[in-house]
Structure 1
Amino acid sequence: MAITKYLAKRITNYNNPNSLGSWFRKRRAASLMKMIEVVFSQKGTVNIIDIGGTRTYWKIIEDDYLASKNCKITLVNLTKTDCPEDNVFQEVIGDGRHLDFADMSFDIAHSNSVIEHVGGWQDMVDFSQELARVAERFYVQTPSFWFPVEPHAMFPLFHWLPISLRKKLVMQQALGNWQKAATEEDASRIVSSARLLTKKQMRQLFPGASINTEWFVFPKSYLALKL
């Protein structure tokens, strides 16, 4: 559907610093920078693990700022990305549900719009527990189930529809960031690739953390913070 592709380009194109999605990310960066400031004041360096992270995402913070705080950021992804490694960034292959790092290896664990993609509920539990295990502080953002536009399909009410109808829709046309499904199996994979969460579920996944709501008329996303 052309309109959903257009919306995806205008809203969730994070290569465009003027997109709505980029604006929200930059606004949320204040909480992340506060964490960085606290750690830097205590240690003089800041060691961050970003699960599912990309170099593009970190454009929300100036490179000079990250360097001035002696930040070392380890990006963890299932496959290699095109991230150039430098004095700040390095990349490793790994699974956020089973991280190959010792307890408290990092100062901050970070994840942006990833937990909704890791699988079923137990996968999310494993993911959240690993974040809390490898770092004293964490910053975890995820889209809200209660926002009326599904952020991947860019289709109103899509995630509230029965699974059978969602599969039918993705087999009929490309939606948002999703290509048209070629088979029913492909449709099932696409539909199950994102499982949006409620605030109650985020509280269950991150007990003891503060769960902040980002609003855009409706709850747009949730941010789990442990400072």
Structure 2
Amino acid sequence: MLKTKIADPTRPGSLAHSARAKRWDELLRCFPDLAEMHVLDLGGTPTAWRGAPVRPAHVVTVNLDPRTARHAESGITPVVGDACDLSLPTHMVTRRFDLVYSNSVLEHVGGHYRRRQFADTVHSHADHHWVQTPYRYFPVEPHWLFPGLQWLPFRARVAVSRRWPHGHVPRAGRAQATRDVQEVELLSAAEMRSYFPASSIWFERFAGLPKSLVARK
């Protein structure tokens, strides 16, 4: 499948695997002490960190899906919670984190108000952050792997989601396809800067074109 050959980040040789490796290189260039850091991962999972090139001293993952809390292991503490309205257990907020990390989550939180809340969570929990999100103006929509999907009218996007067999979003009936389309809002660089005005914005590129945005500080 197209997803396996191109967009499966766990498959060596895929474009997604190569892109993830380059992203990790840049992350470690910015934060060479990552292995000694206490990291808050908004929207992440313990499984994602299990195969990471570098494991921080401790990671707290925050995810709405309670299934992610079943995979706790040494050095990783999963919390079921809302990254836009975060309430951590008391013993976790006695000190600030060294870094807030987030990968491909901001486009899913739901509208400007929720994105503003997400950014406030990032700013309030650490002095440093790395927040990545796909770029709205890359020619291929990254969730469906469909060219220009993000620029089509809503009804057309739902129709594509119901029938297109590639990408990360499975085909579904009209109601589920509608929810899937509603749940993704890709951001522009100007929007990213508005949420993270004190950060530098790194453009992750593919074939010379900006593919995703990273707000880093």
Shorter-normalised TM range: 0.7 to 0.9
Q: TM-score, normalised by structure 2?
A: 0.87
Match of 2:153 in 1: 162
TM-aligned CA deviation for residue 95 of structure 1: 0.7
Match of 2:37 in 1: 46
Unmatched tracts of structure 1, length 5 or more: 1-5
Distance 1:104 1:189, change over 3 A: farther
Match of 2:202 in 1: 212
SS in 2 for 1:197: coil
Unmatched tracts of structure 2, length 5 or more: none
SS in 2 for 1:81: helix
Match of 1:61 in 2: 53
Partner letter of residue 16 of structure 1? R
Tell me, in whole angstroms, the C-alpha distance in 2 between the residues paired with 1:159 and 1:34.
32
SS in 1 for 2:127: strand
Matches within 5 A, 1:81-120: 81=68, 84-101=71-88, 102=93, 105-120=96-111
Match of 1:30 in 2: 25
SS in 1 for 2:79: strand
Q: TM-score, normalised by structure 1?
A: 0.84
Partner letter of residue 214 of structure 1? E
Partner letter of residue 98 of structure 1? D
TM-aligned CA deviation for residue 163 of structure 1: 0.8
TM-aligned CA deviation for residue 37 of structure 1: 3.1
Tell me, in whole angstroms, the C-alpha distance in 2 between the residues paired with 1:21 and 1:57.
14
Cα RMSD over matched residues? 2.1
Higher mean C-alpha displacement, 205-214 vs 7-16: 7-16
Bigger RCO of structures 1 and 2 (CA < 8 A, at least 6 apart) = 1
Partner letter of residue 53 of structure 2? I
Q: Does 1:78 align with 2:64?
A: yes
Identical positions, percent: 34
Higher mean C-alpha displacement, 81-90 vs 24-33: 81-90
Tell me, in whole angstroms, the C-alpha distance in 1 between the residues paired with 2:210 and 2:95.
32
Distance 1:35 1:218, change over 3 A: closer
- Length, aligned pairs only: 210
Tell me, in whole angstroms, the C-alpha distance in 1 between the residues paired with 2:14 and 2:47.
13
Tell me, in whole angstroms, the C-alpha distance in 2 between the residues paired with 1:209 and 1:152.
26
Distance 1:179 1:39, change over 3 A: closer
TM-aligned CA deviation for residue 82 of structure 1: 6.8
TM-aligned CA deviation for residue 13 of structure 1: 1.3
